[in-house]
Structure 1
Amino acid sequence: METLKKILVLIGLIASLISAAYANDGLATYYNIYNPSACYGFATPTDLIAAASPTIWEGLSTCGRRYSVTCTGSTNAGTPHPCTGERVAVEIVDFCPGCQGTFDLGQDAFAAIADLDAGVILIEYDRV
């Protein structure tokens, strides 16, 4: 039984390393006017939302996809250490054709991972 536990722990460690190795790098901004959205109109399903940039957007099939996002650093000298160290899972609810970043996060999602004063942050993200 002890050997089985060790094997399961080892498999878990390997899986987490593989996941971290395949994280994507990008930029995130935030917004706070959510409706109507391209995916759900006036019925936003959750508070932890994001609009997808053309990098991520694949038409309406992108709606409802979830991504795990974490702040990795600053893009400006005004907020040199914006990251909270937290990770947040967001749901794609909209398309942002003019976005400067990979995601335009809902304000609540952005605030969970970074100082709002940063405005634009470096991120790592994975599809959940």
Structure 2
Amino acid sequence: MRENDPLKSTVLHYKNNYSENEIVSSEEGSSYGAAFLIRSLEKIKKNTGSEVLRKLIDTYIEEYVFHIKDNNRDTIINMIEETSAKGSSFILYAKTAYNKVLKEEECLSRLLDTLERNNIEQM
């Protein structure tokens, strides 16, 4: 990534205006998944050489953050109440969610590798 790249400041804009804690536990009801998705898109954007792909990812991030901010609070409050911790079922849920995150990280890693290979082939 170039030193004076304007898209680099856009990523910093997201990080400054939507801190991880705000994204994870905001009143708008976002979850860890939202923060993980935004960080993953930022990593992909950072590692791609295509300006078109960077702008596309930037647009997706903006739309996703906008959707999070405008999401219906009542729906989210109901979802939180439904998934309250209840004994061993919550432990099973937590383990399943953790394994899902590990698989998603593995998939994102493979995607980054593919993008990098395509980037090298284009040069």
Instruction: Output the TM-score relative to the length of structure 2.
Output: 0.25
Normalized per residue, which structure has more helix?
2
Instruction: Output the TM-score relative to the length of structure 1.
Output: 0.24
Where relative contact order (Cα < 8 A, 6+ residues apart) is larger, the structure is: 1
